Structure 1
């Protein structure tokens, strides 16, 4: 049998398998569309083959995402396709609940269409700046551009109650370390002890910039960011005495509140580089 004939036979088999998968809604045995009990709908429109999918996204991963958001009439609300990808950590409440779930289990390069009901989106409050109404259903197209998985390090607690856990360490030979006087580009997410979300730099898609050791931030944060490597990530528990004290920072932070931060030293400018 000639190579040409063999090639035609193999191609024919491929088409038959592909047709059967399309009919069954699968790709290499993977389900391509499903709807969860709470209304979240996901359809994989660009699957990635098993041999090319070396890692799948999971909680704790930092993902880079392209997205396009439409309303029910197909009108575009926002999109970053062709622009800088949006970056966030999966499973940390940095995005709406439906998006956290929709981006989980994806391969790099994979693209999905996602329908997120209001209760898994912006809820009763909506989102005024994007003209998203209360309990509005959201229609997304999303693509996983890249992902980063952390390498955990040590943790410790200091005598005055400051607790630090290194959630992603940097190799010593590659470490550019922070010290007082340096300029810090920091990404952060802040929650209270009961899990209430307070603020995140990720929602603004830009880092918070300050000078280390210059009392431009609360005392606990100055200390938590000292001795960090560029690229390092930490979980930090800051007692009220090192945070906003008995007065708090109303209305979001009550007096005496313990603060729970996820922080990243995204960029470090040493004082002798200024």
Structure 2
């Protein structure tokens, strides 16, 4: 779970992964935010367009159509591997889906596949995926015959890995539309477990572009519950202040205390956590989203 990337950070993350990024004119202001929130985000959803041709597919995903206003995703991945940005904010791509899948993705707690979805747009109990997922539409007719060139699959892998790196996610934060709702088949032509394997291997390697800042790995909730004195706590507090969540009269300092817990609870609420999930004790998802700088 994390705050959506700004337009500049999204472009930088994609290019750092070695992708050719094409900014469709007007994409930075193209969104459906008036229809509802975008964020906190939990992951990336992969689709196929059911169209042919880069130009026509990009135009459709930017504008939408009479039954579904655009943008229909955040980026279109063409057959040549180029990534065309078309939306910045809420996009009409995911629709309603299964809350069990959302929790499994947010927690990155599933095995090879998320739990089978039992919900769809309009069903009782469905949750709105347009709030919580970035969307990549891949140019493919989705008929099982239209080929997936190696360059396109490589771009799906790289683009997904770019967002995972930016948010501190693993490959389990990347799902297909068919894994979200029981009424979709996309993407058709490759398997999502196979794609997640590719993404996981890429995340295990260094990015092909400029190296990003080093972030301190999540030390575990027990670390904080032991009331440690550590430069990690100071670095965390400074990040909380930078995010507008600090409740420090003095500091922050190296000793974990009530002010740190109150500040961290504000951060969790900012990310969208509620109740027991916003109790001020750091968890892996919120910690990765905070991006605490590495300390020696």
Higher strand share: 1
* Structure ID, larger Rg: 1
User: Same fold, TM exceeding 0.5?
Assistant: no
Q: Specify which structure has the bigger relative contact order, considering alpha-carbon pairs within 8 angstroms and separated by 6 or more residues.
A: 2
Higher fraction of helix: 2
TM-score, length basis structure 2: 0.23
TM-score calculated relative to the size of structure 1: 0.24
